[in-house]
Structure 1
Amino acid sequence: MEKLRYSVTINAPVQDVWTTMLNDATYREWTSVFNSDSYFEGEWSQGSEIRFLGPDGDGSLAGMIATVEENRPNELISLRYIGQIVNGEDDTTSEAAKAFMGAHEKYAFSAAGGVTTVDVELDSEDEFVAMFDEAWPLALEKLKDIVEARR
């Protein structure tokens, strides 16, 4: 598993960035880079299960299941992956699911002078590194555009 890091600086207060990143409607906008119909089910509260979903190439429901390990508002969200969703069904036992179980994804927010930096850190299997290296910078740039357009 490889640790990947991405960052964006947004000209907005941290609370605006936090809310925009995690709000259902705007989450769908900035994550459309990964999947045009991406969304989540669940809550961002600590200890909660959250599901990241979208249609697979054949139109069936696919995604990832995570536990919110830490939620410090306007500072940090930390997730630990516990399974995947394949053809609309939870999968926690296949080799594919086991390969990334326990992987982490973190969003850290820091602010200075009305500017917010979002640092994303995630564990990735080698086969997904190129996709993430392409998609995450685009997604964070889209988040930046959404937040700054609302100011």
Structure 2
Amino acid sequence: MEKINFTINIIAPKEKVWKILWEDATYQKWTAVFSEGSRAKSDWKEGSKVHFVNENDDGMYSLIDKCVENEIMNFKHLGNVKNGVELPLDETTESWNGSMEKYALVDTDNGTSLNLEMDILEDYLDYFNEKFPLALNIVKELSEN
């Protein structure tokens, strides 16, 4: 498992960036980079599950490992979802089960620094190194407008 990190500076308060990241309408806009029709089903509370799915309700499920509103959102990825149903672990999901995806918002002199750290399998490094900067630029654009 590899770690990748991304940081983007956004000229907006962290409260606005937080809303852009996690409210349904804007979440769907920035995550469309990964899969058209992406959405998240969750109450966004620490300890709750979240289903990250496409228009067919296929995707992955995770645990909100830590949530400090307007500051930190950490996900612990657990397994796959098919047609909205959590699947049992198999050899493939066991290879990334427990991997983390961590978002941190930090005040800066002119706005917010959005920092992302993610555990990733080597096979997906190129994909996420290409897609995450595009997604974070959408977060920046939505937050600054």
TM-score category of the 2 structures, normalised to the smaller one: over 0.9
TM-score by length of 1: 0.91
DSSP-derived class of the 1:18 partner = helix
Q: Counterpart of 1:51 in structure 2: which amino acid? A: H
- Does residue 40 in structure 1 map to residue 40 in structure 2? yes
What CA distance in whole angstroms lies between the structure 1 residues aligned with 2:74 and 2:108?
22
Determine if contact 1:92/1:98 at 8 Å carries over to the other structure: no
Task: Mark the runs of 5 or more structure 2 residues left unpaired by the alignment.
Answer: none
Pick the aligned partner of 2:134 from 122, 138, 145.
Answer: 138
Q: Percent of aligned pairs with the same residue? A: 31
Residue 26 of structure 2 is matched in structure 1 by 26
Instruction: Determine the C-alpha separation between the residues in 2 that align with 1:124 and 1:87.
Output: 24
1:88 Cα deviation from its structure 2 partner? 4.5
Task: Give the corresponding residue for 2:115.
Answer: 119
Q: Which residue of 1 aligns with 2:10?
A: 10
Q: State the secondary structure of the residue aligned to 2:107.
A: strand
Deviation (angstroms), 1:89: 3.6
* Aligned length in residues: 145
**TM-score for both structures, normalised by structure 2:** 0.94
In the alignment, which residue of structure 1 is the partner of 2:77?
81
The RMSD of aligned alpha carbons is 1.3
Residue of structure 2 in register with 1:91 after alignment: 87
Shift of 1:112: 2.0
Moved more, 86-95 or 96-105: 86-95
